[in-house]
Structure 1
Amino acid sequence: MAHKRNKIAVIGAGFVGSTTAHWAAQKEIGDVVILDINEGAAIGKSLDLFQAAPIEMFDSKVKGTNKYEDIADSDVVIITAGMPRKPGMSRDELVGVNAKIVKDVCEGIKKYAPNSFVIVVCNPMDVMAVYAKQLLGFPRERVLGMGGCLDSARYRAFIAEELNVSVKDVTGIVVGNHGDAMVPLVRMTSVSGIPLTDLLSAEKIAAIVQRTKTAGAEIGGHLKTGSAYYAPARGAVEMAEAILKDQKRVLPVAVELHGEFGVNDKLMVGVLAKIGGKGMEGIIDMKLNADEKAEFEKSVEAVRTLVSALKTVN
């Protein structure tokens, strides 16, 4: 019997979407469909990416479309569609614009890929993930938000740069919301097992924590007209790969909390979770100390505030 290949649908052919498709095809985690309302962009970028296959030596098929029926039977759907935040635009304004887009996207997913795992990347990520979860009605194991993988990667990159060591040996996670109230867990950060606090001064660590929180804005400030895409796309593909290969990775992802860490109102907040073939296979009980709990609660409150902005949209 022929083996069914994995299928990854990427919704949105902008910078994040096309780069997500690039990483997914290059890593051969499955065949890739890029869907965008701008059919030309989806088809053109797909053709371009497919033509790199003989050089990079990947056998993933890549297809562009504007028709939701082409995402039928996708194993993983990654939602990148949406407007990036423009200079001077508040997150609340962005909520209104992107909620409309996410609503259309979720209708398509429900109809054509009802058994898929959904990874939300578009901003503001936490509230869009909450909204997608509500619209889809899928169990929480199958709807995840991508903020934590990106924020943790940024945090680890800055630590490696400061210490002039390989990024491979830096372990560190960022939980909470994907925004200014995110919580890099310094106490749980290490380099080959050595606590970060043994290697860097409190001032240097504080500077890295602050830079991590504003890393997206730092990039946006340089780009002027857009926002980050290489690392966000790779974060989404890290999650997709963990699901498709049943890796049981322990990753920081946004998941709907059902009483964990005292959150009971169906908010999606970044926590450490085990990601495998069933999607989110368990939330890791991080033993937070009093300071970390207080920081995490501020993060939860930030998500709650944005979700209330969503209520005014509907």
Structure 2
Amino acid sequence: MAAQPRNGKVTVVGAGFYGSTTALRLAEYDVFETVVLTDILEGKPEGLALDMNQSRPVEGFETKVVGVGGGSYEGTEGSDVVVVTAGLPRKPGMSRMDLIETNAGIVRQVSENIAKTSPDAVVIVVSNPLDEMTALAQIATGSPHHRVMGQAGMLDTARFTNFVAEECGVPVSSVRTLTLGSHGDTMVPVPSRCTVEGKPLADVLPADRIEHLVQRTRNGGAEVVALLKTGSAYYAPSAAAARMARAVMEDSGAVMPVCTWVDGEYGISGVYLGVEAEIGRGGVTRVVESNLSDDELAGLREAAEAVRAKQADVADL
């Protein structure tokens, strides 16, 4: 059997738990030629890359992992996709917005380096606060809006799906959920698009339990942070970011909930927001509008206004 062709280079910026787990997931897909892991620390990404490469014979993948430390971008040149995980994680009691000034400086610097070394890359931002950092990365790279997106909806939807499956005692594969809006307090879970074994969620669970799961989804990251005491979630977030990167490289046309530029859809314009979008080689090929209930649409528009003001501020950070 002929080996499958591998192509393209994906760079992951930041070799913390999130970045290193993302790099390993991307390598284990065995569809990329190279995965580059970079960090400001000297030695850490190189050591992680060496360790990951030594897992190749066991796991049976050929993708080469390259580590680049000391803040260098040498070896990342011409990346097809760049995943930005750089920045400080939350501590217990912190909101995502508490990180805005510190992480803005980091994300701006990273984005300017990406613009120099991989000007045609599709950029996937995962640094918090997510919606604001995605907007900042687009400004700082100067890339067209469709080539810069943020990972949030995939993660929030996965959390919602997992909570519903556990509540109903069914396999996660039999549950479909969706969350839109911002990655934070104005997250908009979409119960009208949620099903359990094909049945509407409202037919399976009472309204108060659905509301409880919605609230738990909104607080999904904080719940993990509070339990860990140090650091924040990375297994589910890295799975979501890696899937987005793969959809770009494979030009799959997959429809995923992501943070992208909305310009006219849902009557909302000029803001980065969590919506469903079709993902392809150039990034977001189109925003997919779906039928929302009046309440859900109102929630989405409210989320847009909440993040719009903060996104205007990041231009100066």
Among 166, 187, 196, the alignment partner of 1:191 is: 196
Number of aligned residues:
310
Correspondence 1:62-101 to 2 at 5 A: 62-66=65-69, 67-89=72-94, 91-101=96-106
Contact 2:192 2:292 in 1 (8 A): no
Q: CA deviation at 1:128?
A: 0.2
Gaps of 5+ in 1: none
Correspondence 1:1-314 to 2 at 5 A: 5-30=7-32, 31-66=34-69, 67-89=72-94, 91-264=96-269, 266-311=270-315, 313-314=316-317
How much is the aligned-residue C-alpha RMSD, in angstroms? Answer: 1.5
Q: CA deviation at 1:86?
A: 2.4
SS at match of 1:71: coil
Worse-superposed segment, 115-124 or 289-298:
289-298
Worse-superposed segment, 92-101 or 81-90:
81-90
Q: CA deviation at 1:308?
A: 4.4
TM-score computed with the length of structure 1 as normaliser: 0.94
> Deviations 1:227-284 (Å, cap 9, x if unpaired)?
00011111101111111112111100011111222222x3210001111223211111
Worse-superposed segment, 37-46 or 302-311:
302-311
TM-score computed with the length of structure 2 as normaliser: 0.94
Contact 1:92 1:306 in 2 (8 A): no
Worse-superposed segment, 171-180 or 191-200:
191-200
> Deviations 1:133-172 (Å, cap 9, x if unpaired)?
1111212221111000000000111111111111112111
Worse-superposed segment, 96-105 or 284-293:
284-293
Cα distance in 2 for partners of 1:165, 1:240 equals: 29
Q: What is the percent sequence identity of the aligned residues?
A: 45
Aligned AA for 1:295?
G
Cα distance in 1 for partners of 2:312, 2:96 equals: 12
Cα distance in 2 for partners of 1:58, 1:227 equals: 28
Worse-superposed segment, 221-230 or 91-100:
91-100
> Deviations 1:100-135 (Å, cap 9, x if unpaired)?
111111111111111111000010010000000111
> Deviations 1:172-224 (Å, cap 9, x if unpaired)?
11100001210110011112322111111112111111110101000000011
SS at match of 2:108: helix
